[in-house]
Amino acid sequence: MVGLGVDVVDVRRFAATLERTPGIVARVFTEAEIAAAGGHRLRTVSLAGRWAVKEAVAKVLVDTRGMHWHDCQVLTGDHGEPVIEVSGSVAEASRARGIDRWLVSLSHDGDMAIAVVIAGARSVRSAPEGDAARSVRSAPEGDAARSVRSAPEGDGARSVRELS
């Protein structure tokens, strides 16, 4: 894992922003994202969730100068899951940090949308020597370690192993 980003969006506040500044939708979201949100009553909720994902990606990348919101798309996968597609400035920033894939979880509850984004790299780089590297190596063999090793073979289990 290269990075982790989390963001929470208050849907009512987001809706008020859209009302005050309707042009923000075209500035921040691509045509594909707007179409995926649709014209249905949950459009604002869908866009708020997508905004949370974009913000979580920005937190992973840390230095967002020169990046364009359209270069990070939150699309819908074959099974309805959110999928992050990066291009241009966001793809360049991702490569600079060694990121070559993105995992995302998105949830809505009441007036809140939350996104958790994990940035991964297929090739594992050496961890720098320091407290963080030592704490990972010296982690105790407890229930959590056993549960990861004994995870059933499936997409989730492969994702966890590939990221570590």
Domain assignment of residue 159, given as a range: 126-164
The residue among 21, 15, 67, 79 whose CA lies nearest residue 43 is: 15
Q: Residue 109 pairs with which residues in a beta bridge?
A: 112
* 55 lies in the same domain as 10: yes
Residues 6+ apart with CB under 8 A from 101: 119, 120, 121, 122
For the chain, what is the total number of helices (H) and then of strands (E)? 8, 5
* 140 lies in the same domain as 91: no
DSSP state of 151: P
* 11 lies in the same domain as 39: yes
Q: What tens-digit pLDDT sequence spans the chain (164 residues)?
A: 999 999 999 999 999 999 999 899 999 999 999 998 886 656 899 999 999 999 999 999 998 888 999 999 999 999 999 999 999 999 999 999 999 999 999 999 999 999 999 999 987 554 444 444 333 333 344 433 332 333 333 443 333 333 33
Confidence (pTM):
0.73
